[in-house]
Structure 1
Amino acid sequence: MSAQISNNVRTLRRRSGLTQEGLAHAAGLSSTTVANIEQGGSARMETFARLAEALGVDTEALFASGTPHPAPDDKGNRRYLLDLRRQLMPPVGLVDAPAESVTVASRTDLERRIDVAHAHYHADEYDEMARCLPGVLAGTKAALFAAEGDDCRRAMLSTNARAHLVTGKYLTQVRQYDLAYQALSAGIRDARSAEDQTTAAVGVVGLCWLLLRQDRFSEAQDLAVTTADAVEPRMSTATAGQLAVWGELALRVASAAVRNGRKGDVVDARRMAASAASAMGREATNFRTHWGTFGPATAAVKTIEDRSLMRDARGVLRDSDQGPLAGATLRRLGRPSPSSWNRHRLDVVRAHALLGSHQDAMDELKALRGEAPEWLKHQSIARQLMEDILKRRKRTLTKDMRLMASHLGISG
């Protein structure tokens, strides 16, 4: 019998919280039979059917290649990505393809649809994003083609750029990196063609995030530094959007530098971000002028992320309820975006795990699963943290541990 089948039986048994003896009893088999199967021994099909019934799965799940459940990176998105690929990566030949028949919408309507897509993103409604984005991209493309006059064309280039940036944001989140690069780079190019420096810089913030996700730290830092230098605002006259995008770029510099071991650069970049956040006064969200939510609390949680990466667990827990993150202050300044706040909570999980407080770590993970289940599925750090907790677990897994492992797609 293949090793995959024995691995599947063992994995599904552990997820069910059963010992070999417990599974044998539930399936009406001997414990020797179960042990033999998990060690690679052969068995009849009816034996597998009884095991599957006891485990609450179809029999074919025992024979599945790879992990018994879909990989979380693609769950809920795969069936809709084809339409996004068609928009971002159309076939190119010697003869232009016939133009797609799309009703030309007004720029106001297209901007509204982009805003709706952003709302889906921050509600972790990734299926809805995957459904709506192909139509948004087709609509902005058609409106750009139909635009007449230089001013109208520049305006539509900016709108088309924003449509591509929100698409790149979604694709980066669900780890479709090649497609995300197509979307983000197209958005930056269109914004530059429109001489819309702010939107182009917003796209660079997103592209730096993508590079960080790919462990391309030096490239992310260099790109963020050169862009921040180009858009550095005059503090006395800068708009909230200009301050935010400059601050967001500083956060990308720091994130890349801390991962690359450039501690001196981290200090300088965090100082820049704090300066921009202080000038803003509170958290602000405007996706037409910056990438996400930015302000004092966002700058604070990103500084705590540095401590987490350096495994300063006590520092993470100490700073998580001080300064801008203290209860009353946080309510006054406003909370970071859901994704930034939830990422901060994963840093808290890591701190508890490093200190051996696994129940505190599980309590925080359980709360995150209740509040942001779809977001959590796409966080590799959540899977890594859960795998570490499971490795240190000497006894049978608790129900919460089994549910969390299943939710995060952990196979064993």
Structure 2
Amino acid sequence: MSDELADNLRKYRRAAGLSQEQLAHRADISVGPVRRIEQGGDGVRMETLHALARALKVKTSDLMAAGPPRPVKHDDPNSQNLRELRIALTPAPSLAPAGAPVGDEPDLRRLSRMTYDNSVLYFGDTYRSIAAELPTLIRAANDAVTYYDSGEERVNALVARSQVLSLVGRYLTQIRQFDLAHVAARGAIEDAKAAGDDLVAASGVGGMCWLLMRTERFDEAEDIAVATMDIVEPKIMGATPDEYATWGGLAMEAAAAAARNNRPKEARALRKAAGTAAKAVGRTHRNLLRHWSMFGPVTATMKELEDYMITGDARSVIRKSKEDPNLQEKQWKQLGGPSTNDGNRYRLDLARAYVRTGDPTAAMEELSHLDEIAPEWFRHQSSAAITFEEITKRRRTLTTEMREVGAHLGVFT
């Protein structure tokens, strides 16, 4: 942990007139993490910083500061596993003039169909198949943009590449390859802007917001989401489901960033905006390719539960999961269900809530179910590993099932 973080926490604690013990009590945590942070120690969790920021009444980002980078493992498998994707996404530049496009005319319909098929796999948490396809998709999209230099074909090629890069960015964010993901997400936004398609660009901004939150850049995530909402805000009359879903999706991203940054008032207002958009849509709206949206009342309600977990209100998560009509599966025939990804995240929130409210058995049931139905997604979730560790701390011995889940999460390696 950086010396800057230690200095920041100490500064705000003293400004509030609190001892380390008093701050820990106000944040509802043990005093150990406070002491460890102020001593420059490692291993503090982001949710601990959220709790301390709330107790000190500052933004989470006010506590955070950059320190020296940690050494990278020499045996990092992703350096080889992502080699082809890295080459396709970040080709080496040259001073030589670009050559004229060669070969047959690109098939934009086929490119869009392939991108859509892989988007469906992504939403279904099937990542292994996607990884092999992405370098080919990137090269095909680049060829199309190079081939068409003007007119409607140029616009269509830019939009097609934006869609490919959005998929690449979200996949890389999911597997925690954040620097590469930023290259893809930025490219997706720039291509859509060059094509003059605000909604596609706004969908790219949504992907960038998620990446920024995964890297604790909460101020930027909220700022760009709100600014983009202003640009694509639906008209009162005549707005399409795509417009409501894109705008509502940005509201959810902005709310999530505000909640994590200890800005509860702003988070509540943005959640209300997302709820308004969800009500206008009426049921889950699905547009996976062009606007990366599966948005509706169920999604908006599930995302709202994340805020309760961030503020430490696990009991409200359990209560709403049992009482809110939008979260009852029997209602999904009418409302439309969530994406597989959103549904899995909801189950992970439930697992975390169960263990925090003293029901580790129910928490383990949720983790085991996720490991069974979405193993590729599950193994990349750091909060699943944290929840698993909290469960096992309450037990002297582990069942075979627990050991298997722990091994899959990398807890025992």
TM-score range, shorter chain: 0.7 to 0.9
**1:385 maps to 2:387:** yes
Q: Is the 8 A contact 1:283 1:334 kept in 2?
A: yes
CA deviations 1:107-159 (Å, max 9, x no partner) are 11111011111122123221211111111111111112111532211111111
| Aligned sequence identity (%) | 40
Matched position secondary structure for 2:91: coil
| TM-superposed deviation, 1:391 | 2.5
Where in structure 2 are the equivalents of 1:60-79 lying within 5 Å? 79=80
**1:261 maps to 2:298:** no
Which whole-Å CA distance do the structure 2 matches of 1:234 and 1:221 have between them? 22
Matched position secondary structure for 1:266: helix
Matched residue, 1:15: none
Matched position secondary structure for 1:320: helix
Which whole-Å CA distance do the structure 2 matches of 1:378 and 1:96 have between them? 42
Matched residue, 1:39: none
Which whole-Å CA distance do the structure 2 matches of 1:270 and 1:165 have between them? 24
Gaps of 5+ in 1: 1-65
Where in structure 2 are the equivalents of 1:44-83 lying within 5 Å? 79-83=80-84
Identify the match of residue 371 of structure 2 among 347, 369, 372: 369
CA deviations 1:175-203 (Å, max 9, x no partner) are 11111111110111011011011110000
Matched residue, 1:344: 346
Q: Is the 8 A contact 2:106 2:147 kept in 1?
A: no
* Rg (Cα) greater in structure: 1
Partner AA of 1:175 in structure 2: R
Where in structure 2 are the equivalents of 1:106-125 lying within 5 Å? 106-125=107-126
Matched residue, 2:287: 286
| TM-superposed deviation, 1:104 | 4.3
Which whole-Å CA distance do the structure 2 matches of 1:99 and 1:397 have between them? 63
Which whole-Å CA distance do the structure 2 matches of 1:128 and 1:100 have between them? 29
CA deviations 1:287-334 (Å, max 9, x no partner) are 234223100000000111111112212210111132211233223111
Tell me which moved more, 317-326 or 352-361.
317-326
Partner AA of 2:191 in structure 1: D
Which whole-Å CA distance do the structure 2 matches of 1:262 and 1:170 have between them? 28
Q: Is the 8 A contact 1:235 1:279 kept in 2?
A: no
Matched residue, 2:229: 228
Going from structure 1 to structure 2, the CA distance change for 1:273 and 1:193 (only over 3 Å counts) comes to same
User: How many residues were matched structurally?
Assistant: 340
Matched residue, 2:213: 212
Q: Is the 8 A contact 2:115 2:289 kept in 1?
A: no
Cα RMSD of the aligned pairs, angstroms, is: 2.0
Which whole-Å CA distance do the structure 2 matches of 1:96 and 1:171 have between them? 31
Partner AA of 1:118 in structure 2: S
**1:326 maps to 2:344:** no
Going from structure 1 to structure 2, the CA distance change for 1:104 and 1:409 (only over 3 Å counts) comes to farther
Matched residue, 1:91: 92
Matched position secondary structure for 2:82: helix
TM-score normalized by the length of structure 2: 0.78
Matched residue, 1:273: 274
CA deviations 1:247-278 (Å, max 9, x no partner) are 00000111001101111101110110000000
Going from structure 1 to structure 2, the CA distance change for 1:307 and 1:98 (only over 3 Å counts) comes to same
| TM-superposed deviation, 1:230 | 0.9
| TM-superposed deviation, 1:78 | 5.7
Q: Is the 8 A contact 2:120 2:288 kept in 1?
A: no
Matched residue, 2:184: 183
Which whole-Å CA distance do the structure 1 matches of 2:289 and 2:366 have between them? 33
Higher relative contact order, structure no. (Cα contacts within 8 Å, ≥ 6 residues apart) = 1
Which whole-Å CA distance do the structure 2 matches of 1:381 and 1:99 have between them? 49
Which whole-Å CA distance do the structure 1 matches of 2:215 and 2:101 have between them? 34
Partner AA of 2:235 in structure 1: R
Q: Is the 8 A contact 1:165 1:184 kept in 2?
A: yes
CA deviations 1:18-74 (Å, max 9, x no partner) are xxxxxxxxxxxxxxxxxxxxxxxxxxxxxxxxxxxxxxxxxxxxxxxx99xx98xx6
Going from structure 1 to structure 2, the CA distance change for 1:92 and 1:99 (only over 3 Å counts) comes to farther
Partner AA of 1:326 in structure 2: Q
Which whole-Å CA distance do the structure 2 matches of 1:100 and 1:362 have between them? 55
Going from structure 1 to structure 2, the CA distance change for 1:339 and 1:78 (only over 3 Å counts) comes to farther
Matched residue, 2:297: 296
| TM-superposed deviation, 1:100 | 9.2
Going from structure 1 to structure 2, the CA distance change for 1:388 and 1:155 (only over 3 Å counts) comes to same
Which whole-Å CA distance do the structure 2 matches of 1:268 and 1:290 have between them? 23
Which whole-Å CA distance do the structure 2 matches of 1:230 and 1:342 have between them? 31
Matched position secondary structure for 1:293: strand
Where in structure 2 are the equivalents of 1:247-258 lying within 5 Å? 247-258=248-259
Matched residue, 1:243: 244
Q: Is the 8 A contact 2:379 2:408 kept in 1?
A: yes
**1:195 maps to 2:196:** yes
Going from structure 1 to structure 2, the CA distance change for 1:83 and 1:230 (only over 3 Å counts) comes to same
Which whole-Å CA distance do the structure 2 matches of 1:329 and 1:168 have between them? 33
Gaps of 5+ in 2: 1-71
Matched residue, 2:355: 353
Partner AA of 1:288 in structure 2: L
| TM-superposed deviation, 1:373 | 0.7
Going from structure 1 to structure 2, the CA distance change for 1:320 and 1:101 (only over 3 Å counts) comes to farther
Q: Is the 8 A contact 1:140 1:163 kept in 2?
A: yes
Matched residue, 2:310: 309
